[in-house]
Structure 1
Amino acid sequence: MLFMGAFAMLLFTDVKADSRLINKLDIWDIWTYNYNASHWIEQANLHAGTQMYGDAPQITISSLPATLEGADWIQTAYGSKAFSQSKLATFELAGDADVFIVHNRKIDKKPDWLKSYNKLSEKVENSTGEIFDVYKRSFKRNDKVSLGSNGSMDHSMYSVAVKPIGNPPALPKPTGKIYDIVKFGAKGDNQTVNTVAIQKAIDACTADGGGSVYIHDGIYVTGTLELKDNVTLFVQAGSILRASSNHADYPQKICAFKYYRGNEHYQLIYAEGKKNIGITGGGIIDGFSHGDNWPWRGKSNEHERPRLIRMVQCTAVNVRDITLIRPANWTQLYEACDNVKLINVRVRAYTGQHNQDGIDISSCNGVEVKNFYAMTGDDAICLKAMSQKPTENIFVDGVVARYANCNAVKIGTETHGDVKNVHVKNVVANTRYSIAIEAVDGSNIDGVTYENILLTSCSSPLFIRAGDRGRTYEGGPKKAPVGSIKNVTIRNVRNTDIGYVDMRNGPGVGAAIGGIPDSKIENLLIEDCDFLFYGSIQDTTLIYTAPPENRDKYPEFNIYGTCPAYGLYLRHVDNVTLKNVSIRSKNPDVRPAIVMDDVDKYNFSNLNCEEFPMTQPAPIWHKQKDNPKRVK
């Protein structure tokens, strides 16, 4: 096994983001149905009158000592007061700095982590009349600051402020031609809707041959913005570009390119048919979606809710050093684009709203994703092909998914065009579901490698499915043909824990790797892997009863219900190799570790399959063999 215990800590050494002093904010207050982490927002210019918590707009800071005025700060989540574990959040310092903790005075027993801070005589008061004491500790440049629990869930959450010691580090600034949105009339007061002013700056920039549209020193509210040729949107660290909560500020952007979901016309940042465009600066773009009930409501209504970023048929797209938070739909969609770089992008997108994917890449050619940090309400990274244009040459290197409410990495489901040459490596994820490869709408998936993946929790460590849902789109085939999956490598994948599946067939689902009789999965290599499953099933009928094919069903890891194997269920597969693979169960289980059903040409070597006294008929079983002996 080749697992690198330290690689996750090395992924983000080049990230330039957050604020002048606050870098690499990481929050652990996130799990299923817990949305607090996405409401932590690092920013500049702490001042009286500002909203104290990201998830409680009714609570503001009413008085603030001069010591803290103008500080960089972290607007925490009010709900994080209930977090009880030792490590709540961390961040790194871009320069020598004093870190201040604004902590509720009514909490008599202070948490242990706060004891290293010195209590000052100053106080902070909020609009509900609560008083907070101020604690200070000095740190050096590049120090990592660890934050612990509030110490009480009965009193309001603390806040964090940071001020420089000596000269502060320089903020990143755009180079070349600069188009300052303030000079076009924009106001960073978190109230004025600046759509017209910012769009004027974009239009002037492209008319002059290109440059950077400069967003700085404030929180700028806007509706839909359309990027143009040779324009980079530069949101400076410490500043926020915030989406308006008024649907009227989002005119429909109807694209000419035909693809599935082409009729979803609302976006915050939009571009079609443009070249040499980018988003950068180290700041934050905030979709301002607080949850399923406000301001964007509904499920299965993606056509009504704006995506944060949508680019269609664009060339030379460069999105880097930016934090994207609280989208009302997918965070970012790149459709039919060529030469796309997504570098050092951080996404916090789990607020209870539906469809909060981290990155969606569809029908693109030549995409590099590097150093991606995410917490998402849906898939962290999702590769699709929603038109007949193939998705090809996709390279993903370095992903930390603090939490993905669906899959950490997924190909599918909307794969109408082919998918070719995909390489995903160096992933650490806490995922509710799995890592997945799916072809059910006509795509031919050929040449996929997933390697060096560590899942700290999941429902199933692997899911591969070729099916025949046959869904199509306007301008596409009348019915999508049956697709295929071949030449797939799963290498050095490990999960250290497995969750009790609170939905989708309960515990012990197993890992489904299945085609259909007329479209077998071909040439599958699984090597150097260590899989842990939940197990716990004692019903022997599940072993000998063939699950329904479900060839036209939505592909999910429970496509067969509870599998005949506690581990790998290989069905309709041609030429599979398992090499140096360990399969274990968290709980005793009656089923085999591996069951093969309509599997041709298999080659197994150096397998370690856990078995139990009640295991039947064998730890590894081919269902079409008359004598169910152990497979060598």
Structure 2
Amino acid sequence: MNKLKSIILLFVLFCFLNGSAKDYNASIFGIKSNGTTLNTTAIQKAIDYIHEEGGGHLNFYVGRYLTGTIELKSDVQIILHEGAILVGSTNIYDYNIEMPNTALVYAKNADNISITGLGVIDGQGRDVAYSLIDQVHKGIIQDELKYDRPARRRPKGIYLRECKNVEISGITIKNTAEWVQMYDQCENLKIDKITVDSKAFWNNDGLDIVDCKNVLVTNSFIDSSDDAICFKSHDATKMCENVEVRNCVARSSASGIKFGTVTRGGYKNFKIINNKVYDTYRSAITIATPDGGEIENILVDSLNAYNTGNAVYLRIGQRNTQNGTGSMNNITIQNLYAEIPATKPDEGYEYEGPIEDLPRNISPASIVGLPGYDISNVTLRNIEIVYPGGSNPKYAYCGTKPADLDGIPEMAEKYPEFSQFKELPAWGFYVRHVKNLTFENVKLTAKDSEYRPAIVFDDVKGANLSGMQYSIPGKLKKLIKYKSTGIILK
């Protein structure tokens, strides 16, 4: 609570300081709103001037402001008023493409910065990506075109690195060529009431928080063709910590809310409260550490998920062992409701998630560590997950005999994904290599009969199950315990 109060006080101070900042209209710097004049130099001159004058607001009013990469500097606040659209150039050379993370709006080591208002940032990402691909095919730019898409140089919408006291609020960000926004090693970051609508190209993560401290994300809507709200840790000496996400809605052709995939340092002290995920191809909530990072003290409370491919996936992996094997401890997921469809949740979207990890029937929620690296102290409280049921053993089959369970591969080095094991032996929960587990008031429903049991425990060391409820047509097989000890049923 004290940490949250500190964050709020910082933002109050930030807003107070901004209240006396000087206002500048974009037009006085020769910035044109006709949508055709390239304003990169003019906008940058305006930012530089305001920065040198001690700070202030750069106001954009109704119009379309065409630009390439602009660099935001300390004490400069961009205000996009309603009707103002910052439009990304479709010429790839108008961006800082030689930098590791090119973007339309960029900043490094800048303090007291913001982008606010009711305006729009439109990256025109599909045309930008095609411009880049054209240069690659002509041999002018070298790129491996992995999966027929450029691996580098696609500009993000916003990329801020090592910035402090940052506010992004009110705006709409859409149609970027790569990740929509990335905040990397920033401190005191507030994101509120933003809208993300970005399905213009592949890898359109809606929001990436990387190794940041003191972050508040609230009241936002994110619709993206890759992970909607995503936390990452790229630096083994850093971690994401003291983060709260509240009252947000997410849709994705990948995961709704995701920790990972890159997890070198880790995550600590998170609150994910009162959020909604819908029409999402992968998991509503994924927490994974495949690269050696530490995950500790994560609370997910009041998450509602509709038409999503999976409800919960917790995973320790060993994709990258340079930093050792990661850990996951003190995870609480409570007041969760999820509906899993029999069909593909993102079917019909322009950029659907790939058909992969087949054959398999509908996958269960899963908590999967590794031998010798247990996921520990996990509490699932007041959980309801509704599955379609109807699994067909003739299509894909996994039994519960010792040979069947031992035959499920560990897949330590693989990309962590709920479907990676293909067919699993449970329809509700599959739990493996876990220590100190609590199931309290968990209800599992299958609309059609199932050949698999509801829950399979494999190498679970201590579990307390109380208030369990099952609903399924026909004969119910509840819980299979294999190589597990200390299982208490109430």
- TM-score tier by shorter-chain length is 0.7 to 0.9
Contact kept? 2:132, 2:150, Cα under 8 Å: no
CA–CA separation in structure 1 for the residues paired with 2:126 and 2:48: 31
What corresponds to 1:244 in structure 2?
A: 89
Contact kept? 2:448, 2:473, Cα under 8 Å: no
Corresponding residue to 1:457 among 307, 310, 314: 307
CA–CA separation in structure 2 for the residues paired with 1:265 and 1:357: 14
What corresponds to 2:298 in structure 1?
A: 448
User: Cα distance, 1:190 vs. partner?
Assistant: 1.0
Contact kept? 1:390, 1:419, Cα under 8 Å: yes
Q: Helix, strand or coil for the counterpart of 2:49?
A: helix
Corresponding residue to 1:341 among 175, 178, 190: 190
- TM alignment of 1:346-365, pairs within 5 A: 346-351=195-200, 353-365=201-213
Query: In the alignment, does 2:113 pair up with 1:277?
Result: yes
CA–CA separation in structure 1 for the residues paired with 2:68 and 2:378: 47
Query: In the alignment, does 2:423 pair up with 1:562?
Result: yes
User: Cα distance, 1:296 vs. partner?
Assistant: 5.0
Corresponding residue to 1:504 among 357, 375, 378: 357
Seen in structure 2, the aligned counterparts of structure 1 residues 614 and 291 have a Cα distance that, compared at 3 Å, is farther
CA–CA separation in structure 1 for the residues paired with 2:60 and 2:421: 50
Q: Helix, strand or coil for the counterpart of 1:248?
A: helix
Q: Deviations over 1:275-333 (max 9, x none)?
A: 00110121000011237973454546342200110011111111111110101111110
Corresponding residue to 2:130 among 294, 301, 305: 294
What corresponds to 1:580 in structure 2?
A: 441
CA–CA separation in structure 1 for the residues paired with 2:400 and 2:131: 48
Query: In the alignment, does 2:247 pair up with 1:398?
Result: yes
Q: Deviations over 1:93-119 (max 9, x none)?
A: xxxxxxxxxxxxxxxxxxxxxxxxxxx
Query: In the alignment, does 2:327 pair up with 1:491?
Result: no
Q: Deviations over 1:417-475 (max 9, x none)?
A: 1210011011111122111100110111000011101111111111110111116xxxx
What corresponds to 1:180 in structure 2?
A: 25
What corresponds to 2:12 in structure 1?
A: none
Seen in structure 2, the aligned counterparts of structure 1 residues 209 and 534 have a Cα distance that, compared at 3 Å, is same
Seen in structure 2, the aligned counterparts of structure 1 residues 302 and 318 have a Cα distance that, compared at 3 Å, is farther
Seen in structure 2, the aligned counterparts of structure 1 residues 249 and 587 have a Cα distance that, compared at 3 Å, is same
Q: Where in structure 1 are there 5+ consecutive unaligned residues?
A: 1-172, 255-263, 472-478
- TM alignment of 1:218-237, pairs within 5 A: 218-237=63-82
Query: Which amino acid letter does the alignment assign opposite residue 384 of structure 2?
Result: D
Query: In the alignment, does 2:156 pair up with 1:307?
Result: yes
Higher-Rg member (1/2):
1
User: Cα distance, 1:175 vs. partner?
Assistant: 6.9
Q: Helix, strand or coil for the counterpart of 2:28?
A: helix
Query: Which amino acid letter does the alignment assign opposite residue 492 of structure 1?
Result: N
Contact kept? 2:216, 2:245, Cα under 8 Å: yes
Query: Which amino acid letter does the alignment assign opposite residue 416 of structure 2?
Result: P
CA–CA separation in structure 1 for the residues paired with 2:158 and 2:412: 33
Seen in structure 2, the aligned counterparts of structure 1 residues 372 and 365 have a Cα distance that, compared at 3 Å, is same
Seen in structure 2, the aligned counterparts of structure 1 residues 611 and 497 have a Cα distance that, compared at 3 Å, is closer
Contact kept? 1:622, 1:631, Cα under 8 Å: no
Corresponding residue to 1:524 among 344, 353, 378: 378
Q: Helix, strand or coil for the counterpart of 1:396?
A: strand
CA–CA separation in structure 1 for the residues paired with 2:461 and 2:392: 29
TM-score normalised over the length of structure 1: 0.67
What corresponds to 1:47 in structure 2?
A: none
What corresponds to 1:214 in structure 2?
A: 59
Structure 1 or 2: larger helix share? 2
Q: Helix, strand or coil for the counterpart of 2:329?
A: strand
Aligned residues: 438
CA–CA separation in structure 2 for the residues paired with 1:384 and 1:373: 20
TM-score normalised over the length of structure 2: 0.85
Contact kept? 2:97, 2:155, Cα under 8 Å: no
Query: Which amino acid letter does the alignment assign opposite residue 550 of structure 1?
Result: M
CA–CA separation in structure 1 for the residues paired with 2:371 and 2:227: 29
What corresponds to 1:46 in structure 2?
A: none
Q: Helix, strand or coil for the counterpart of 1:461?
A: strand
Contact kept? 1:620, 1:630, Cα under 8 Å: no
Contact kept? 1:611, 1:619, Cα under 8 Å: no
What corresponds to 2:101 in structure 1?
A: 265
RMSD value, Cα = 2.2
What corresponds to 2:139 in structure 1?
A: none
Contact kept? 1:590, 1:614, Cα under 8 Å: no
Query: In the alignment, does 2:388 pair up with 1:534?
Result: yes
CA–CA separation in structure 2 for the residues paired with 1:330 and 1:631: 45
Query: Which amino acid letter does the alignment assign opposite residue 482 of structure 1?
Result: T
CA–CA separation in structure 1 for the residues paired with 2:127 and 2:331: 37
Contact kept? 1:596, 1:622, Cα under 8 Å: yes
Contact kept? 2:431, 2:460, Cα under 8 Å: yes
User: Cα distance, 1:631 vs. partner?
Assistant: 5.5
What corresponds to 1:68 in structure 2?
A: none
Seen in structure 2, the aligned counterparts of structure 1 residues 411 and 625 have a Cα distance that, compared at 3 Å, is closer
Identity among equivalent positions (%) equals 33
CA–CA separation in structure 2 for the residues paired with 1:395 and 1:630: 33
Seen in structure 2, the aligned counterparts of structure 1 residues 381 and 178 have a Cα distance that, compared at 3 Å, is same
User: Cα distance, 1:185 vs. partner?
Assistant: 1.4
Corresponding residue to 1:543 among 400, 403, 409: 400
CA–CA separation in structure 2 for the residues paired with 1:415 and 1:278: 28
Query: Which amino acid letter does the alignment assign opposite residue 179 of structure 1?
Result: Y
CA–CA separation in structure 2 for the residues paired with 1:419 and 1:630: 30
Query: Which amino acid letter does the alignment assign opposite residue 415 of structure 1?
Result: T
Q: Deviations over 1:373-393 (max 9, x none)?
A: 011101110011111211100
Query: In the alignment, does 2:477 pair up with 1:601?
Result: no
Query: Which amino acid letter does the alignment assign opposite residue 357 of structure 2?
Result: R
Query: Which amino acid letter does the alignment assign opposite residue 548 of structure 1?
Result: P
Contact kept? 1:212, 1:232, Cα under 8 Å: yes
What corresponds to 2:481 in structure 1?
A: 622
What corresponds to 1:571 in structure 2?
A: 432
